[in-house]
Amino acid sequence: MDIHSRWPSECGKIIQSLLAISFGPPRGGFVVENRISEGIDLELSDPQKFAIEVKTTESNTVVLSEKDISGLRAKFKNDGYIPAVAALRLQLSADWVISSARNLDGRDLRLCAEAYTCERLALNPIQELQEIAQREFETTVAELRDGVLSPPNGSPLDYLRHVLQMENAKPAADIGKAVGHASTALEFTSKLFS
């Protein structure tokens, strides 16, 4: 059984939560706030601050809504967060594309609600975040897959929320930084969807 088949209506939120855990202190070195329902999807802090909208797609495009854009704009202007978009093509690639959202339309955060191709997003990567996601996401999926498929409390999102909360509470030095490797499409697909 795979995550997508077991939890089809929550799969995007589960992937977002797995990405959040991948950025957490023991893996990526950030303190992470993961919002499943309201506001910016992910907020990373310490050392830098990033506001990230997370999108998954089975095609080549992701859609940024007006709500997504206004949230990124507000975090940038009001709180100094670097705005970003993280996109994962579920069937075509295992690699995350994490792009700066500051200049998607050529102007400073004057985005339009529209579809963006993963190739367009890849033109302006936030290399540090992209490397962390590519290095840590597959390992995170492998470590937490069984708990997501059969969560102890019945909810995969509650299970992942608890994992992130526990990891955010511990300094990276106490846990030890996992050393991963960039994922391949075959390895990713087999872990997430089989």
Residue 19: CATH number of its domain: 3.40.1350.10
CA atoms of 48 and 125, how far apart (whole Å): 16
Instruction: Give, as one character, the DSSP assignment of residue 77.
Output: H
- pTM as predicted: 0.83
Q: Are 178 and 35 in contact (CB under 8 A)?
A: no
Q: Which two tokens stand for residue 27?
A: 């893996």
Question: For the chain, which residues score pLDDT lower than 70?
Answer: 1, 91-94, 103-113, 171-194
Looking at residue 179, its pLDDT comes to 30
CA atoms of 50 and 122, how far apart (whole Å): 17
Domain region containing 89: 3-169+178-193
Looking at residue 58, its pLDDT comes to 84
> Which strands form 82-89's sheet, in the order they lie side by side?
31-34, 42-45, 50-57, 82-89, 96-100
Looking at residue 4, its pLDDT comes to 83
Looking at residue 103, its pLDDT comes to 66
Q: Which tens digits make up the pLDDT trace of 62-92?
A: 888 888 888 998 999 899 999 999 999 886 5
Looking at residue 175, its pLDDT comes to 42
Number of domains in the chain: 1
